[in-house]
Structure 1
Amino acid sequence: MSDQRVMIVDDEPPARDRLARLVDGLAGTSVCASIAEAETVVDACRSHQPDVVLLDVEMPGIDGIDLARRLRRLSPPPAVVFVTAFEQYAVDAFELAAVDYLVKPVRAERLARALERARNRPLGPGVTLRSRLGERVLAIPVSEIRALIAEDKYTVVHFDQGEALVDDSLVTLEQRFGRHFIRVHRKALVARRYLRGLYRDADGQERVELDGCNCRPPVSRRNLTLVRQALDDKPETELPE
């Protein structure tokens, strides 16, 4: 799985530097951008495609609350974690569906919990992949996708209503939605939330089972440990919505 990409937004250089050190000290995370000017954040998100934005609330110009509203309109929208010295904004933060709200000075273990929460955040129904069949365009909610399988020049999308083709490569899709999918094979990504089990077929090939899908993608040897870990990490009570 690729690193969780974190963007830091704070107008104070010492605060940005401290958060960057904390993020870099956590396994599986990396800073993709560190930004001081709130006005540039939306364009920077389009360029850097962060998974998470660590967002200061009180900044010159656009404040963090208004900026979070703008970030929600991106596709896909990054997870937002507010980082501020002021607790009075917590209600506004959670009304905006912020993943977490951290009070400065941020402790490493508290940041780690917030980033893990962001990693497990489900995608909203508004985030879609577009499949074109002749003149017909189908918008497939990413939250309903079970598997993405590379075939020739296309990627086959297995979702709850069947199958469709998209032009996007697996590499591109993994970069955009890596926190929601796990690579099980060089030609296959599967949705973490629908991952149900692992078995060996009659030919000795390891395969994954997915909730709500007859597709059984193969698992390569190099990805077998990662799949087992993902299954071990799933809560026993988790069910697809």
Structure 2
Amino acid sequence: MKIMIVDDELPARERLHSLLEDMDEYQVVAAASNGVQAVRLAQELEPDIILMDIRMPGMDGLEAARHIAGMDTPPAVIFVTAYEEHAFEAFETHAVGYLLKPVRRERLQEALEQAGRPNRAQLGALHEPATQSGAARSHICARVRGNLELIPVDSVHYFQADQKYVTVRHDGGEVLIEEPLKALEEEFAGSFLRIHRNALVAKARFCGMEKNSQGGFEVVLKGSRERLEVSRRHVAEVRRFLKSL
């Protein structure tokens, strides 16, 4: 079975690799030092099992596991961490194991064997959306031509809903996702502001608000010629926000 190791500390990656060297049935095919690398390598190499640290800079292991769960055939994830308090969140991501550092060979072997024989509940979980934790994601995950694409949230200009899809306009272009705008508003309340029933704009992208030729209002975005309509019910809130800048 193909194994990928994800940990931001080289000694931790090396220790797991050394433990796996004595297990002939497992092959380490990749190592990553953060969540973003983990998602990209998981798509490219399609490992059977990922040994994942939780606390890592940038995208942590919990968020990476949620994105990986969106793959057509996601690998089994075993979290390897020094922090026991993350156990509940870990299993919300459909992880099949949870090991505390320092990892003992016997416990690792046991967890790998369990991951290699997923039970009915685990198989069913692969086809369910992962539960979101209270923490806002650092990246938005979109499926583009069959692959998962990660968009840093701080590069997003706005979210705009159109029927069942939401357009994510970002520095590199735009993608479509299938997430409710209301859920995005709740998750990113600190960094995005609703300007219309169908649009959330990044607070960092606001440049101003102007009247258009029809007498309505439009938001002016920094570094862009785009103008987004502001509904009448949100004009006062947008004006208050702009005055606070």
**Per chain length, whose mean CA-contact separation is higher, i.e. which structure has more relative contact order (CA < 8 Å, sep 6+)?**
1
